[in-house]
Amino acid sequence: MVLQQRPARRLRQDIPPTRAVRRAISRIEARGHTTFGGRLDPHPEGRLARSMAKRGMAHDWRDFDQIRAWAHTVATELHRQSQASGEAGPAVDKR
């Protein structure tokens, strides 16, 4: 069995929110939006996913360092906001 190497990382691109996500952002008054890369199985079900896989897009595009950095930013901001308002707030992992 040959392990497939992870593809070279592409430059990070900001992916605009879909219409449904824009509505959710508005409804919950979110401060921002981030879309992360996902994973596409080489043999997926569904016409669109199969088409993407046939065009060489079947990879694991997740970037866990980027996800952790985003989560840390969100936690830090929530902690800062809770300190300013005098609430206990969530603990922030300083890793």
Whether 90 and 77 have beta carbons less than 8 Å apart is answered as no
- Residue type at position 15: I
- Residue 87 in this model has a pLDDT that exceeds 80: no
CA nearest to 41, candidates 94, 79, 4: 4
pLDDT, tens only, 35-59? 888 999 999 999 999 999 999 999 9
CA 67 from chain centre, in angstroms, equals 6
- Residue 80 in this model has a pLDDT that exceeds 70: yes
Give residue 3's pLDDT: 42
Model confidence at 32, pLDDT cuts 50, 70, 90, reads confident
Report how far apart, in Å, the C-alpha atoms of 1 and of each of 4, 8, 59 are. 9, 21, 17
